[in-house]
Structure formats: structure tokens, C-alpha cells
Amino acid sequence: MAKGFRGGGFGGKSPMGGMNRSDLMKQAQKMQEEMLKTQEELENRTYKATAGGGAVTAEVSGKRLITSLVIDPDAVDPDDVEMLQDMIIAAVNSALSEAEKTSSETMSRLTGGLNLGF
């Protein structure tokens, strides 16, 4: 074995801020725990959006599932079902977009901008 070899290159102090392997593992574990907690909190949130001046209100969960859809009876026009369909799609997509945006921004802050697939 070569003199001074410590296996894996992590023995003692490293050029990465003076952290040893144990410190690095503790920091990674803490970050993982924070990320899991934050993900759970995000999944438990609800996001609401409206369309058509409030004629349609959609609510989605952080898991990206529709949890509520409210349609104002005045918005139901049998001669213009297409407009109602468009309002539903707009409200749902807006709520889903807000959920995604909030999740991405929150996880980005937590990971310091690193893209870890969340």
C-alpha cells in the first residue's frame, strides 16, 4: 500500500472546507431529512385558482391531484359547454402550475440551487 493512503481519499481533512467523511455524511443526512420533511409539507398543501372571473374554482393538492372543483351555476350555459370546459381547464392548470412553482422554488432554496431531481 502506498504511504499515507487512507482509502477513498476522504481520510483526515479534505480540501472541501476542512470536512472529514463523518461531517460530510452528517451534513448530507441532515439535508436529506430536511428535504423529506419539506416534500411532505409541500404535498400536504393545497393550491386554489379561479377562472372566468370566479365562475370556476379548482383546488389541487401538493400531490397534483384535484381535490375540489366548484362551478358557479350561472356559468353553466347548455349552448356554450365549450367555454365552461375551457374555464375548468384554465383553473385546474393554474392551480397545478402554482403547486409546481411553489415546490420548485422551495426545494431550490433548500438545496442551494442544486438540481437534485425534486
Cell of 71: 362551478
- The pLDDT score that the predictor gives to residue 98 is 95
What grid cell was written down for 114? 442544486
CA distances (Å), origin 72, targets 63, 81, 96: 26, 13, 21
* pLDDT value at residue 17: 59
Closest CA to 68 of 92, 87, 44, 84: 92
Does residue 93 lie within any of the structural domains? yes
> Model pTM?
0.68
Directed axis angle between helix 21-44 and helix 81-110, to 10°? 160
pLDDT digits (tens, 9 = 90+) for 90-112: 999 999 999 999 988 888 887 77
Q: What is the pLDDT of residue 57?
A: 97
Q: How far is CA 35 from the centre of its chain?
A: 10
Which domain, by its residues, includes 78?
38-110
Candidates 4, 8, 2, 5; CA nearest to 24 is: 8
pLDDT at 32: 87
For the chain, which ranges sit under pLDDT 50? 1, 5, 9, 11-13
Q: Into how many domains does the chain fold?
A: 1
> Does 11 reside within a domain?
no
CATH number of the domain within which 104 lies: 3.30.1310.10
Q: What are phi and psi of 69, to 5 degrees?
A: -140, 115
Residue 33 maps to a domain: no
